[in-house]
Amino acid sequence: MFLKKIALSGAFAGLMGSAAFAADCGPSGKSVRILGSDFPAIQAVSGAAEANCAGSAGEFTINLRDNTRDMMNQALTPNPAEYTSVIVANSTLTQLMNDDLVRPLDDYVAKYGQHLKPTQLITINGKVMAVAFMANSQHLFSRTDILEKAGVDGVPSSVEDMVAAAEKIRAAGIMEYPIVMNMKVGWNVGEVFNLFFLANGGEMFKPGSAEPNVNSPQGVAALNSIKSLLGYTHPDHLSHASNETQALWESGQAAMAIMWGSRGAAVLDAEGSTEEVTSNTVLSAAPTAGGGSVPAATLWWDGITIAKNIPDEDAEATFAALVSGLTSDLMEEHNDKAIWLIDGFKPGPAAAGVAQSAAGGAKPYPMIPYINLMHNALGSELVDFYKGDESAEDALADVEAAYRTSAKEAGFLQ
């Protein structure tokens, strides 16, 4: 009898123990299919979900690739959808919600999300639509050794400082093109404009409407700030996106860069670069422009959504699996891979730039249904100005006209 009691309590304690440590993966035998962009933070999150819950799921697939934004709407439109979850950012959540392809997560958060911080929940119209796990933003990368050699004190904090420092570096014969930034025609050109436009206090749209509002003094000021920097960038800048700018930086061919925070860890690590570059690279807030105090950056988050057109139990299992990974355990292993929003994150040097941009009052990237159309119009119509073929006012007028055309077709304007 005594032995039986011990055996029973032992078994009981064992059960309790495993329940406390194993992740709660929701209904078992369901299908979990995740789509996301291919970078270290998302690899860590999806990897943790797989480690915790692949055993209890009937099917568990992860597809991480480039340009998910181009195909996520098509993938989630059929019923059942191709994926049960898409890992999105501010702009892509808007894109999915425009077509009503993601479901509210309130019930799942109540059931499986006790460990999430309230700031991680992306709430729109009173419903949780996404769970954010990391933040991202553009900011300044500086090479302190080169700045010092050219006689520049400290790290530049404004566009004007950057231009002055670049001129000194050029005059000292150290580098002809000390500045790099992502200026590839299309999305990147549009995004760079957003940074400086918002920092100048611009509003993309007339209040309460989809009418464009970029052809304004703030718009012209933004373009002039950008053009002053472009005088010191490589002549090929209109073909440079993140991969090219990171390569230029890591090969030691630049002294100041405006790049994504998510590139910080990759720039600072030992891979792909020299000790001279990595040990002298300092990350700080994005520069201010035109005498303002707001850093020219937009704040982004990356987070989890659950598809609408899938069986409820698949949705529940997918959510449970993904949030099971968003714990302080993940932080212990992957702390330096991103600016995590998760409990237990300890900001390191790679996080300094994003943290300072955010603290300086940079604006979040607007989540408005027609922002993608504006972003596209900016990305294609501003090129004439950067090439010197058109005045700032004419280019901005073209942007508004191009935006109006597509907004009419999409039903946002009459």
Partner 1 sequence: MKHRTFFWFILPTLSAMILFIALPIVSVFVQSLFIQHEQVLIVSESCGPFGCTPTTSIDAEATAALREAQPLGRFNGLGTYFDRSHLATAEVAEIWAESSGLASFVSGLMDLKFYKALFFTLTYTFVVTPLVLVLGLAIAVGVNNLPKAMRGVAIFISLLPFLVATIVGSMILSWMLDGEGIIGATLQIIFNDPSLSIKASTSLMWIALMVYGVWHTLPFSFITFYAGLQTVPQDTLEAARVDGASKWQTMMNVVVPHLMPLVSFVTLMLLMDNFRVFEPIISFQAEAHAQSLSTFIVSDLREAGNPLYASAGATSILTIIGVAILLTPVLIRTWRDFNVKAN
Q: How many residues in the chain?
A: 414
Q: How far is the CB of 5 from partner 1 (least distance, A)?
A: 51
**125 contributes a contact to partner 1 by CB under 8 A:** yes
| Residue ranges in 27-86 that form contacts with partner 1 under rule CB under 8 A | 67, 69-71, 73
Contact region for partner 1 (CB under 8 A) — 15-23, 105-113, 114-122, 275-283?
114-122
- Going by C-alpha positions, the residue among 268, 56, 39, 33 that lies closest to residue 133 is 39
222 touches 289 (CB < 8 A) = yes
Contact 353, 283 (CB under 8 A): yes
Peptide bond into 80 cis (omega under 30): yes
Contact call for residue 235 and partner 1 (CB under 8 A)? yes
E-only strand ranges, 154-242: 179-181
**How deeply is 209 buried, as exposed, middle or buried, from its count of CB atoms within 10 A (0-12, 13-18, 19+)?**
exposed
- Binding part of the chain for partner 1, among 108-116, 150-158, 324-332, 358-366 by CB under 8 A, reads 358-366
**Which tokens is 2 given?**
């005594």
Q: Which is nearer to partner 1, 154 or 231 (CB)?
A: 231
What part of residues 262-291 is at the interface with partner 1 (CB under 8 A)? none
Determine, following the binding rule CB under 8 A, whether residue 167 of this chain makes contact with partner 1: no
H or E element at residue 303: strand 298-306
- 99 contributes a contact to partner 1 by CB under 8 A: yes
Query: Of 9, 28, 79, 119, which lies in the binding site for partner 1, with binding defined by CB under 8 A?
Result: 119
CB 77 within 8 A of CB 71: no
Does residue 135 bind partner 1 (CB under 8 A)? Answer: yes
User: Min. distance of Cβ 381 from partner 1 in angstroms?
Assistant: 8
Nearest-approach distance from CB 75 to partner 1, in angstroms: 13
10 Å CB burial of residue 162 (0-12, 13-18, 19+) is buried
* Strands in 312-410 per DSSP E: 339-340, 363-364
Question: Cα(140)–Cα(163) distance, rounded to whole angstroms?
Answer: 13
Phi first, then psi: give them for residue 165, nearest 5 degrees: -65, -40
Q: Identify the residue among 80, 185, 228, 309 touching partner 1 (CB under 8 A).
A: 185
Tell me how far apart the alpha carbons of residues 44 and 29 are, in angstroms, rounded to a whole number: 23
367-386 binders of partner 1 (CB under 8 A): 367-369, 372-373, 376, 379-380, 383-384, 386
Among 7, 8, 124, 164, the residue binding partner 1 under the rule CB under 8 A is 124
Supply the minimum distance, in Å, between the C-beta of residue 272 and partner 1: 15
How many residues of this chain interact with partner 1, rule: CB under 8 A?
68
Shortest distance, position 123 Cβ to partner 1, whole Å: 4
Please calculate the CA angle 180-193-204 and round it to the nearest 5 degrees: 165
Where along the sequence are the contacts to partner 1 (CB under 8 A)? 67, 69-71, 73, 91-92, 94-95, 97-100, 119-126, 132, 135, 176, 184-187, 208, 210, 234-239, 299, 301, 341, 358, 364, 366-369, 372-373, 376, 379-380, 383-384, 386-387, 390, 394, 398, 401-402, 404-406, 408-412, 414
